[in-house]
Structures are given as structure tokens and as C-alpha cells.
Amino acid sequence: MTKWRFLWAALCAAFGFSFFLAAGNVSVLMFPTSKPQSDPIFVFVVAVCFIISGVAYSMVRFKQRTFVKKSSIASLQDFTFDRDELERLVPRNGDDVLKPEQLTLFLNCVVEPAGVVERISERVSPAHTSIMVDTTFSLRVQVATEQAAVVETSFLVPLQFPKKGHHASGLKAYGIDDKRISTVSHSNVIVFEIAVMRRIARMVAPEFLDQYCSRIESLVIAVLTSASPSPEHQVTEVFSLIKSVSEEIDTEEPIDETALTQLQNLFDRLNGVLPLCISFSRKQLSERAWPDVLRVRLERRVAQPVTTDVHGVPSGRGAELLDGVTRIWEHIRLAAGVRPSRLYFEIGNLRLTRSYHLEMQGPEGTYYSSSGIWGQHHIVDGLPGDVSKPEGQRRMHVYFRDAAIADLIPLGPSWPGYVRALPAPRIFMSADFEERSPGSLASPMFAAAATVGLVAAIAARHQITPVGVPINDLPLIGLLCAVPIAAAALAGFDAGKDHRRPQMPSRIVPIFTAVIAVLGVVLAIGQRSGAKIGTFDPDQAWLMLLAAAVLNLVMAGGSWLGRVRAEHHLTKKSGTKKGT
């Protein structure tokens, strides 16, 4: 692909240079001369070849930037399963290596995480078109001190439950004393999951364990080791077998209904996800006395959603149209160097705890201006929490207490002794950030004001000068053309400014100013030659150009004064007792 890129680039350069030379010879057609002239058809053909080679180069360059050699990347395979390790942890006959405390901790983290996770604090900051998320988990783990030297496995703590096929980008984990740690591999997590399920099956009844290992466990392994979500019929078959086996077995004592429900709940939670786990030794967990908690931190990158479902737009034709318009407008803004000023973040971890804190930090050089919460109304309205008000600060803080989403979701279909939970609803928080100092709006506004002054001076001269008297506009026209150049330089028209977050008015106003300057040059040429088109006189065009310059100034001044007023209001409010 690289050789094609250089080939089309060379052709584009050759045809472009040929067009330049040919067009130079054709220009003599405008003047009486005896020099040889190029054939206009030849110039047209060269121009078409230049455009075609340029388009071809752009397409090849785009494919090179976005190309992934699929033939060298195999599709995801199912996870390998170590049956020997399973037999070591929970043998069908014999003592278990998996201790009750390990079983309880893992089960509670998966099924009832709000009882283990005392608090979750998340910090969101922008990173180009994505966001960086720093999540801190405060875990309440009750583990007894080891009484004797016993060989046992570590304690696995599931923190996140991404769906199968969704991979965390840029994930980093930090454990005790904020030291970097590794997450447990998915293969080992799956072995631990199946071991926990076998251990719970033993708690249901010894006879149930035999039937579970011979009839159910192979299906469970097939579902959990799958690299992608399993078909619904496979999951349903596991639930049906658990129910039928529990009814068919003949036991001397009644089966443990609580353990049976726990087994179903655990499989229901794990069948479509790959838990992200970290491990701790018994010594690390037992050294923490009340009210000390285990603090774990995760860093990851999340794609910034720009979709209509965030705004609660119903699906259908209208949603697709609005989504397309939103994405087109976002591309236009990015092409103009205007980076997104709104952050979205899905607060999915709210379902894991009853004390949740979210901090959304704006880009450098901005302040927090407004916020929003998006989701199903009956869920959002029932969340007890508090959102910080805009007072000129850079960060937005959100607090939710005693607000586990799982408590607000109606339960799904059920049968006696077991209830399948519905998926947690999606809830998003959004925060808008404005440029701290409206410098990118100030210089275009002053440029628009200078344009109005220059155009007004030229229009006045043309109106008061008698017909037939020559007018030399070149000094003022030259000054008028310099205005947009100076405005673009002062406004920081390049998009690489880290301390500036320009908005669309700061891009549109200089462009309009430049257009007015170019039209001024055209009108000056027409005025000098005395050209008229019908009853339209170039003298009258200066009044129209003046009106356009005034509208440009009103747009620039309104945006700039609005930002100055908002900044003054927030600065004044933050210094008062009422604002604090």
C-alpha cells in the first residue's frame, strides 16, 4: 500500500506542476501577444488528471491510516479450561482447598456487591475524543487471621463486569499503598467461577453435587468459557436442568433452597460477562481492622459516546436522523479545531455500591458551566443524590447515597425460589465546560469591529464622492485584508493550543471577516473599472457589505459579551456567602 501512496503522490505532483505551466501559457489569451499559447483542451485534461490523482492519493492515504491486516489476526477462541486446577480447588470427593470465606467474598461481590463495596469514587477527565476514568473502590472485607500454616489460594475480588467481547482500553490496577498490581487472567477467573459453583452445588445436597457434575457442569463450562455471549437457549437449558435436578433427586434431608438460589443467581450474573478480578492474600485482608477498608484503584480509557440514546430519544427514524445530524455537526466542529466541550459518562458502577461519588474534570483552561443526567425517568427521579452547582470551578461533583440501582429495578420473570434480574438501565451524567478566559472570542470581536469601521469608511467615501471622480481604495483595502489575518493569529486559530478551548463563533467570525475582506477587493476592482450589472451599481454593494459586517460584529460581540457576563457572574457569585 505504501508504494501506491508514493505513486499517486508523484502523479499528483506531476499533473499539478503541468497544470501550473499550461495555465501560465493560457493566460496570455487575455492579452495581445505573439507568444505561443497552450491548447485549452490540454489544460482541461491536465486539470482533470490532477484532481483524479489527488483523490486517489487521499483514498490510499486514508486506507493506510485505518488499515488492519485481518489475515494476520485470528478470531477470538474460547478460553482454555484447566480441569486439574478445578479438581484441586473443589474435588468431587475430598476436602476443599476453597475456603468458605473465599466463597462468600466472591459470591457477595458478584451477586450483592453493595454489601462489600462501601464506596466508589470515580474521576473523569477528557483525553482527545475519549475520556480517562480513575475509579477507586473502598471494600469492606471481613477475613479472620490465619490460625495455622495452611496452603490455600488467594482471595479473588471481582471489581468490574464487562460484557464478553468488550475489552478495557488502557487498564491499570493499583492495590494496597497504591502499588501497581496485575489483574487475574480470564482463564484463572473462569476456573475460580466454576469452582465456586461446584462448591455451592455441594452445599445444596451431596446427591445434587453428583448430578450437577455429571449433567450440568459441562454445559456451565461451555457457557462460561465461550469468548462471546452464549445463545439464549444454552443459558436457558442450564437453568432448566438445575430446576429439574433439584426436583428429581432423592435426599434424606431437604435440599438447601438458599444455596440453590445462590447457584442460580451466580450463573445468571456470570453467563455473559468476564469479571475483572484482582487477588489478595489472607494476610493482606486480615490486617485491616474496623473502620479501615481495602482501597483499590483502576484506571482505564472509555470511548466518549455521541449517541442519541444518551438524550432519551426514542428509537426509530427520528433517532437515526438526529444521530446523523449530531455526528455531522461534531465532525464539522472538529474540522474547525473546536474540541468537544461536553463530557458524558455512564455511571454503571452506581449499582455496585450505596455510596457513590463522581468527579468530572474539564480540560485545562475551562470551568464547569452546567450538568445533566440522562436515563429512564422513573429510575433517574428516584436517585437520592446531590450535584454541585456551577460556581466557576473546574470540576463537577456528584454524590449518590443509599441509591443502589438494583433496588430500583423491577424484577424479571421468575419461578418459585428464584428470580432472574433484568439488566441494569443505562444512566449517564453529562457536564458542560466553557473556556475560562474568553480570549478566543475577544480578538474576532475586535477584528469584526475593525472591519465595520473600515467598510463604513469606504462606503461613506463612495457615497459622498461625485460620479466620475476617481477614488483610490488601495490603502484601505490593504488594511481591510490584513484584519482577518491578524484576527486568526490573535485568536490562536491552530487547534493545538492546550490552554485554550475555542468555540464555533471564534472560528466562524474570522471566516466571515475574511470573506468580507475578499468581497471588498472585488468591489474595489469593479468600482475602479466602472462595471455595472443591469441596474446594480458597485457603489450600492458597499452598503450591503457594511450591513454584513454589522451582522458579523453583532454575532461576535454577542458571543463575547455573553461569555464575559457569565464569567463575571460566576466570579462574583463564588465570592459571596450565598455562592459558597
Whether residue 255 sits in one domain with residue 109 = yes
- Treating both helix axes as pointing N-terminal to C-terminal, what angle do 186-204 and 257-270 enclose, rounded to 10 degrees? 160
Give the span between the Cα atoms of 438 and 563, in whole angstroms: 6
504, 336 in Cβ contact below 8 A? yes
Whether residue 245 sits in one domain with residue 102 = yes
Percent over 90 (pLDDT), the chain: 3
442: nearest Cα among 505, 391, 399: 505
Instruction: Classify the C-alpha dihedral 186-192-198-203 as positive or negative.
Output: negative
Q: If DSSP codes are grouped into helix, strand and coil, which group holds residue 431? A: strand
- What one-character DSSP code corresponds to residue 289? -
N- to C-terminal Cα separation, the chain: 61
343, 430 in Cβ contact below 8 A? yes
Whether residue 282 sits in one domain with residue 346 = no
Domain boundary among 416, 434, 452: 434
Count how many domains the chain has. 4
Distances (CA, A) of 316 to 308, 323, 347: 11, 11, 25
Whether residue 454 sits in one domain with residue 550 = yes
- What one-character DSSP code corresponds to residue 165? T
Q: What is the pLDDT of residue 478?
A: 64
Give the span between the Cα atoms of 190 and 253, in whole angstroms: 31
**If the chain, 580 residues long, is cut into consecutive pieces of 10 residues, what is the mean pLDDT of each piece?**
72 77 55 54 80 82 66 61 82 78 86 85 84 89 63 78 74 85 86 89 86 88 82 83 84 82 85 85 74 84 65 60 73 68 83 88 82 78 81 86 59 52 75 71 76 79 66 64 64 52 73 80 68 61 81 80 70 52
Whether residue 269 sits in one domain with residue 160 = yes
Give the span between the Cα atoms of 243 and 212, in whole angstroms: 11
Give the span between the Cα atoms of 409 and 426, in whole angstroms: 12
Distance of CA 418 to the CA centre of its chain: 37
Tell whether 310 is covered by a domain: no
Q: What is the pLDDT of residue 551?
A: 84
Tell whether 317 is covered by a domain: no
Domain boundary among 434, 467, 502: 434
Give the span between the Cα atoms of 164 and 224, in whole angstroms: 10
135: nearest Cα among 458, 463, 358, 311: 358
407, 471 in Cβ contact below 8 A? no
Whether residue 387 sits in one domain with residue 242 = no
Q: What is the pLDDT of residue 357?
A: 92
Whether residue 238 sits in one domain with residue 355 = no
Domain boundary among 434, 459, 485: 434
Residue 516, all three cell numbers: 468580507
Residues 6+ positions from 60 with CB-CB distance below 8 Å: 1, 4, 5, 8
Tell whether 299 is covered by a domain: no
User: Is the pTM value of this prediction over 0.85?
Assistant: no
Domain residue limits at 29: 2-72
Distances (CA, A) of 170 to 131, 160, 299: 11, 15, 7
Whether residue 446 sits in one domain with residue 356 = no
- Treating both helix axes as pointing N-terminal to C-terminal, what angle do 232-248 and 257-270 enclose, rounded to 10 degrees? 170
Residue that the C-alpha cell 483523490 belongs to = 55
Tell whether 210 is covered by a domain: yes
Whether residue 380 sits in one domain with residue 483 = no
Tell whether 305 is covered by a domain: no
Distances (CA, A) of 119 to 136, 177, 185, 292, 427: 8, 18, 25, 12, 18
Residue 409, all three cell numbers: 429495578
Strands 117-127 and 355-361: parallel
Q: What is the pLDDT of residue 345?
A: 87
Give the span between the Cα atoms of 180 and 298, in whole angstroms: 10
pLDDT in tens, 138-170: 888 877 666 554 556 788 888 888 887 776 667
Tell whether 492 is covered by a domain: yes
Whether residue 31 sits in one domain with residue 141 = no
Tell whether 193 is covered by a domain: yes
252, 270 in Cβ contact below 8 A? no
Looking from the CA of 508 toward its CB, the CA atoms found within 13 Å total 14
516, 354 in Cβ contact below 8 A? no
188: nearest Cα among 282, 89, 97: 89
Give the span between the Cα atoms of 42 and 316, in whole angstroms: 52
79, 227 in Cβ contact below 8 A? yes
Whether residue 285 sits in one domain with residue 217 = yes
Tell whether 308 is covered by a domain: no
Q: What is the pLDDT of residue 509?
A: 80
Q: What are 273's strand-pairing partners?
A: 163
Whether residue 355 sits in one domain with residue 246 = no
Give the span between the Cα atoms of 362 and 491, in whole angstroms: 21
Q: What is the pLDDT of residue 538?
A: 67
Question: SS3 string of 517-580?
Answer: HHHHHHHHHHHHHCCCECCECHHHHHHHHHHHHHHHHHHHHHHHHHHHHHHHHHHHHHCCCCCC
Specify the length of the chain in residues. Answer: 580
Q: What is the pLDDT of residue 390?
A: 81
- What one-character DSSP code corresponds to residue 92? S
